Amino acid sequence: MSERSEQPPSTAEETSLPSEGRPTEAELALYDLDYVPPGHKSGFVAVIGRPNVGKSTLMNTILGQKVAIVSPKPQTTRNRILGILTRPHYQVIFMDTPGIHRPKHKLGEYMVHTATRTIPDADVILFVVDVSVLPTDEDQMIARLITRRKGEAPVLLVLNKMDLLPAARVERHTKAYWALVEHRAWMMTTATTGENVDKLLDQIVEALPEGPRYYPGDQVTDQTEREIAAELIREQVLRYTRQEVPHSVAVVVEEFKERREDLIYVAANIYVERESQKRILIGANGRMLRQIGTAARQEIERLTGSRVYLDLWVKVRKKWRRKEQELRRMGYRLR
């Protein structure tokens, strides 16, 4: 299925560049990696929690742009996603992680390992929970894991989804989460609307150590456009499909090439585990695949600022989630 843009894409947000002539101190602080203003803070922040508590939405909201895909479905994030926020006097490097859960296959094991290995390397740990419900067994498991592995890193407890918490349950729920893990500070947030996210960022910066800038000021992630495009396609599969299909899908971009100055060609394979899933993804007369392709193309155009010709193919790889060789084929970087 091919999906071609017939309309100009949305204009990507431009990053302001240093002014001509002698740079100001603020410009040096953003763009010169060798210049570190007095008191500059920096560090890596591990965003940890069980599936579907809003970790990726929280990071995207803090960054002010979409770096990680989001979905109401659990286990959307599969890899560690880096999000970089640079201001003149600090640089926060967020490590968004897959939801920690009890794995049922090799892919699940990979996701949990990806999340847990960020904890010892973090300068700050954001333990994100869904405060609208009481702590689950997975929340308690993660709290024990953080306690064992965090070292000297301070823990900030993020009580997300406060908009869904009835007033009568606030005290009970907050106290239940406070008791889970020793934390330096806590904040109630609603990541979808940005409620209290600015206050949370202040807490994060305060907890960071003084240090250098690790990335250029205009870099917001370590992902390539090719990698982000694959995730944007998978995001639309999550959006339009139900039941087991979303969790059985992997997307591999085979070609990402500028054909003309104003057109990028993207060819991608969508892998599923069963023929029945392939039929669902394609849909009657290819309708489902066209719908997914149109939405994904628009997202890739916003990413690249260019028109996109998107070529999608659906293929079957039986039980790929259970085989290490297949996981590597799908781009999951096993250690």
Burial 68-78 (b: 16+ CB within 10 A, else e): bbbbeeebbbb
* Residue 50 neighbours by CB under 8 Å, 6+ apart: 99, 100, 101, 129, 136, 138, 139, 142
Q: What pLDDT is attached to residue 78?
A: 87
- Backbone φ/ψ region at 299: left (φ over 0), alpha (ψ -120 to 50), beta: alpha
CA 115/CA 128 separation, integer angstroms? 13
Nearest to 86 by CA among 96, 94, 78: 94
Torsion over CA: 31, 32, 36, 41 (sign): positive
Beta-bridge mates of residue 46: 95, 125
Query: What pTM was computed for the model?
Result: 0.85
CA 272/CA 332 separation, integer angstroms? 15
Q: What is the pLDDT of residues 211-227, one digit of tens each?
A: 999 999 889 999 999 99
Domains present along the chain, CATH in parentheses: 2-6+222-329 (3.30.300.20), 34-207 (3.40.50.300)
Residue 241: count of CB within 10 angstroms of its CB: 21
Residue 99 has what DSSP assignment? P
Q: Which two tokens stand for residue 197?
A: 């996210």
Nearest to 48 by CA among 106, 92, 101, 90: 101
CA 56/CA 247 separation, integer angstroms? 17
The mean-pLDDT minimum among 129-138, 237-246, 262-271 falls in 237-246
Residue 61 pLDDT > 80, yes or no?
yes
Say whether 262 sits in a helix, a strand or coil. coil
Read off the amino acid at residue 154.
Answer: P
Q: Do 126 and 163 contact (CB within 8 A), yes or no?
A: no
Q: What pLDDT is attached to residue 229?
A: 96
- Say how many Å lie between the first and final Cα of the chain, rounded: 34
Confidence band (pLDDT; 50, 70, 90) for 243?
confident
Q: What is the pLDDT of residues 96-134, one digit of tens each?
A: 999 999 888 888 898 899 999 999 999 999 999 999 999
* Residue 70 neighbours by CB under 8 Å, 6+ apart: 56, 57, 60, 76, 235
Q: What mean pLDDT comes out for the span 152-159?
A: 97
Q: Do 306 and 9 contact (CB within 8 A), yes or no?
A: yes
**Widest Cα–Cα separation across the chain:** 63
Q: What pLDDT is attached to residue 201?
A: 98
Confidence band (pLDDT; 50, 70, 90) for 11?
very low
Q: What is the pLDDT of residues 278-298, one digit of tens each?
A: 999 999 999 999 999 999 999
